[in-house]
Amino acid sequence: MTAQVIHLPRKPAAVLEPRVIGAVLAIGATKILLTASGVSDTDFEDPRCRVAWRIVRRFVEAGRPVSAATIGAAGVSAKAWGPEAVEWLEAVQHENLIGPGELADVLSEMRTAAKAQRIAGVLTTMAAELQAGGWDAAKLHADLRTAQALLLEPGGDTRATADLLELYEKWDTNESRGRSDLVTTGLRALDDIVGGYPPSLVIVYGKPGAGKTGVIASGIRGQLLSDPTMEVGIFGLEDGTRWFTRRNIALEAGWVLREVGWKKRSAEDAERLQLAGNRLQALTDRVLTYQGRITSAELLRRAAAWCRTRPNLRCLYIDNNSQVQLGGDPRVPIHEKMEAFAEALRELAESTGVPVVSVAHINEGDVPSNGPPPPAAVRGGRAIDQKARLMLAVWSKGEEWRVTVTKANESGGRDTTLALTRHKEAALVDTNEGAIVNLREEHRQDSEASARARVALRAKLAAEAAAKRAAAKAELDKAKGEGAQGELLPPVTRE
């Protein structure tokens, strides 16, 4: 598909703006024309044109006649200008050479000129910040989005056929490469539900200790096993990245996770671990890692570099998002910075086609104890959950790890819960196993079981109370019997 070229107007604002005002005063304008033009008073550099346009819009919306006399008088009455401005309005109206059929084109030219000035201003500001060295990656991404929106706006009115052609073109490319836009999660049962990770921001979240790391480590293992060429990247910002190798060594060698790295090895253990390490290296050679503290700007830069230089990199993981140093203006609330960072991650994923899986903790205030935490519980921003296309809640019931799809824009399977089969000693899950859980039925059964347990408990307590009463009565009766026998004995006399 060919890129659209935007032709910037050749006439400077000092010439174009008075022409627009003169044309509107001379031939008039309808409300629909002014609305469709998109021109606002802020698009004018000349203060007189800005005020004139504001009054013109108000007059047109009210159905009042528009001319140099009416607009000039309104401005004088509002003390927006003096009599000399009225003379200027009459002059530009008199000098108008634009016909009714040309007004829409002139307004379009005016709008394009204003956008060109805004784009130039955004890019100039960005260049100055970069040269000064004090730039903020999240702000730069926001500024780029502003410029991009302005650039794309003139080309927004296209036919859906363009989308159709783009879809088939991308489809052909994926088929020729033998790949899909969706990247396997590494867990077969989860892929059956959501299809895979979309090329966007994915948030995996849950309570500390709920099993997030185990699920992620298992998914990475499954990804690498499913495709011998695939690479993944891990930003281990909280606990490093050794959790991946330690858990996989435990699984490969059949060791308990807590003993990996310190337990004294016998000769047989050493041989088994050596073989396990050899098998595991085929996976770890395809895992790029970063450990330690990092700013949002450096993370975005490094992630983009990985995606650009590693064509087989298919997925990025951030563990976890709350450990990123956001920087920037200290006056900006932290949740706004987190939301801007999430937006930048989503743009990175969508522009590179590489899903970004961000691991997040939750605010535990209103989280149910017997079900998945909702997306709004994710820590880091009031609207951060709106930035993700797929959200997976990791939680546990007893010793069982579960994953619930809490948000799926296009993937399907929302509100589906998957119970995973754990390799308990290695703190991983079986990448090929998993069963869908009917939470509603489970809650019903749990409620009935709880009700039966309460009834049984009440019955047990009642039985115990009755037994105690019976025992007490028996003791009382016994004491009364012994007292009655004492009364029948002859009295003792003393000599």
User: pLDDT tens digits, residue range 238-247?
Assistant: 777 889 999 9
pLDDT (average), residues 439-447: 84
CB 199 within 8 A of CB 411: no
Give residue-wise pLDDT tens across range 16-68.
Answer: 889 999 999 998 888 878 887 788 888 898 999 999 999 999 999 888 999 99
* CA atoms of 17 and 53, how far apart (whole Å): 10
Look at residue 3 in the predicted model and tell me its pLDDT.
Answer: 43
CB 361 within 8 A of CB 379: yes
Whether residue 370 has a cis bond before it, omega within 30° of 0? no
Look at residue 12 in the predicted model and tell me its pLDDT.
Answer: 60
* CA atoms of 377 and 188, how far apart (whole Å): 27
Q: Is the pLDDT score of 429 beyond 90?
A: yes
pLDDT band at 15 (very low <50, low <70, confident <90, very high): confident
More confident residue, 370 or 318: 318
pLDDT band at 488 (very low <50, low <70, confident <90, very high): low
**Per-position DSSP letters for 349-398, written without gaps between them:** HHHHT--EEEEE-B--TT--TTSPPPGGGBTT-TTGGGG-SEEEEEEEET
Look at residue 16 in the predicted model and tell me its pLDDT.
Answer: 86
Q: Is the pLDDT score of 154 beyond 60?
A: no
pLDDT (average), residues 483-487: 62
How are strands ordered across the β-sheet holding 231-236? Answer: 287-291, 231-236, 313-319, 356-360, 201-205, 390-397, 400-408, 417-419, 435-437
Look at residue 228 in the predicted model and tell me its pLDDT.
Answer: 94
* CA atoms of 98 and 21, how far apart (whole Å): 11
pLDDT (average), residues 393-401: 91
The Cα-based distances of 368 to 377, 395, 446 in angstroms read: 11, 10, 15
Look at residue 494 in the predicted model and tell me its pLDDT.
Answer: 58
Look at residue 9 in the predicted model and tell me its pLDDT.
Answer: 43
Look at residue 406 in the predicted model and tell me its pLDDT.
Answer: 94
More confident residue, 216 or 100: 216
Tokens 């009655």 identify what position?
484
Helix axes 13-27, 47-62, angle to 10 degrees: 30
pLDDT band at 490 (very low <50, low <70, confident <90, very high): low
Average pLDDT, the chain: 85
* CA atoms of 212 and 239, how far apart (whole Å): 13
pLDDT band at 401 (very low <50, low <70, confident <90, very high): very high
The Cα-based distances of 308 to 160, 301, 305, 314 in angstroms read: 31, 10, 5, 11
CB 431 within 8 A of CB 219: yes
Q: Which two tokens stand for residue 389?
A: 């296309």
Look at residue 485 in the predicted model and tell me its pLDDT.
Answer: 62
Give residue-wise pLDDT tens across range 228-261.
Answer: 999 999 999 877 788 999 999 989 888 888 888 8
Number of neighbours of residue 122 by Cβ within 10 angstroms: 18
Look at residue 418 in the predicted model and tell me its pLDDT.
Answer: 95
- The greatest distance separating any two alpha carbons of the chain, rounded to the nearest whole angstrom, comes to 152
Q: Which residues pair with 317 in a beta bridge?
A: 234, 357
pLDDT (average), residues 350-367: 86
Look at residue 157 in the predicted model and tell me its pLDDT.
Answer: 56
pLDDT (average), residues 151-166: 63
Q: Which residues have CB under 8 Å from 288's CB, separation 6+?
A: 231, 232, 233, 234, 306, 310, 313
**Per-position DSSP letters for 183-249, written without gaps between them:** B--S-HHHHHHH-SB-SSEEEEE--TTSSHHHHHHHHHHHHHHH-TT-EEEEEE-SS-SHHHHHHHH
DSSP symbol at 425: G
Beta strand pairing status for 313-319 and 231-236? parallel
Helix (H) or strand (E) holding 62: helix 47-62
Q: Which two tokens stand for residue 122?
A: 């955004």
* CA atoms of 148 and 10, how far apart (whole Å): 22
Number of neighbours of residue 371 by Cβ within 10 angstroms: 16
**Per-position DSSP letters for 99-117, written without gaps between them:** -GGGHHHHHHHHHHHHHHH
Look at residue 6 in the predicted model and tell me its pLDDT.
Answer: 43
Q: Is the pLDDT score of 436 beyond 70?
A: yes
Look at residue 252 in the predicted model and tell me its pLDDT.
Answer: 87
* CA atoms of 198 and 175, how far apart (whole Å): 17
* CA atoms of 137 and 240, how far apart (whole Å): 23
Q: Is the pLDDT score of 117 beyond 50?
A: yes
Q: What is the pTM of this model?
A: 0.66
CB 248 within 8 A of CB 280: yes
* CA atoms of 387 and 392, how far apart (whole Å): 14
Most confident of 131-135, 187-191, 248-252, 377-381: 187-191
CB 37 within 8 A of CB 103: no
pLDDT (average), residues 154-169: 65
Q: Which residues have CB under 8 Å from 379's CB, separation 6+?
A: 322, 360, 361, 362, 363
